[in-house]
Amino acid sequence: MDVDQAKIPQATAKRLPLYYRFLESLQASGKHRVSSSELSDAVKVDSATIRRDFSYFGALGKKGYGYNVNYLLTFFRKTLDQDEITKVILVGVGNLGTAFLNYNFTKSNSTRIEMAFDVDKDKVGEEIGSVPIYHLDQLPDKVGDDVEVAILTVPAHAAQVIADQLVASGIKGILNFTPARLSVPENVRIHHIDLSVELQSLIYFLRHYPI
């Protein structure tokens, strides 16, 4: 089934990896069929939204039957390019960066951190989680055309300068874990993940919207 990805809402696109991860767990448990209500309970997205998300991709299920787990998993694997390895670099080998390197997306068969960069001479030349660490000055020479994504875990005051270096080196997507709001060209996509803001938001909702 050919799908015009440009017509898929961004909110729907953001939920696809969530659906995919749950479907993987279902397949691993030997389950062959799932309903939208079961999906809803698992991923905490209401059933109507799930049905609407899936409707953008055509007839993925049958009324009264639900969804075939293997079929959905195969379809979304293709949609999310899960059969292709996406090479990622990481800049900033502090506590958070080190955690990423040790984990290195071992639960994903499609995303892998290839190399990391830092300015700490005690870290440069070492490996963490089998990932080599290079000096930041080597970034332009090390990043090839086959690397388009970077994870940024550096101090906020250095984030913009390094983001500029990443863009100049051909990076097209940045996952920004710094508090800094970065300015990048229109052809570069950036996702901001501010852990302190998320924590404050969680605490606010706990206090003012008790479950």
Q: What is the pLDDT of residues 140-196, one digit of tens each?
A: 999 988 899 999 999 999 999 999 999 999 999 999 999 999 999 999 999 998 888
133 vs 35, residue with greater confidence: 133
Please report, as a single letter, which amino acid is at residue 205. F
Count of all residues that appear for the chain in the document: 211
Helix orientation angle between 47-55 and 10-28, rounded to the nearest 10 degrees:
100
Starting at the earlier edge strand, list the strands of the sheet with 33-34.
33-34, 66-68, 61-62
**CA 115 to centroid of chain Cα atoms:** 17
Q: Tell me: pLDDT of 108 over 70.
A: no
Mean pLDDT of all residues in the chain? 86
Share of the chain above pLDDT 70, in %: 89
Measure CA 92 to chain center. 18
Among 24-38, 103-117, 190-204, which is the least confidently predicted range?
103-117
Pick the range with the lowest mean pLDDT from 34-38, 101-105, 175-179, 184-188.
101-105
Distances in Å between the Cα of 18 and the Cα atoms of 23, 44, 79 are: 9, 10, 13
pLDDT attached to residue 109: 58
Paired sense of beta strands 147-152 and 66-68, if any: unpaired
Q: Which long-range contacts does 65-70 make (Cβ < 8 Å, 24+ apart)?
A: 65/33, 66/33, 66/34, 66/35, 66/36, 66/38, 67/33, 67/34, 67/35, 67/36, 67/39, 68/32, 68/33, 69/23, 69/26, 69/27, 69/31, 69/32, 69/33, 69/34, 70/27, 70/32
Measure the CA–CA gap between 121 and 48, rounded to whole angstroms: 53
pLDDT value at 118 more than 50? yes
The answer, as to whether pTM is greater than 0.75, is no
The larger pLDDT score, comparing residue 192 to residue 107, is at: 192
Instruction: Give pLDDT, residue 73.
Output: 84
Q: Which residue has the higher pLDDT, 68 or 91?
A: 91
Stretch 88-95: mean pLDDT: 96
Q: Calculate the alpha carbon distances from 50 to 37, 106, 170 in Å.
A: 9, 27, 35
In whole angstroms, what separates CA 7 from the centre of its chain?
Answer: 21
Q: Which residues are CB-neighbours of 72 under 8 A, at least 6 positions away?
A: 19, 23, 34, 60, 61
Amino acid at 100: F
pLDDT score of 1: 47
Given a cut of 50, whether residue 27 has pLDDT beyond it is yes
**72-95 mean pLDDT:** 83
Q: Decide if pLDDT at 28 tops 70.
A: yes
pLDDT of residue 16: 85
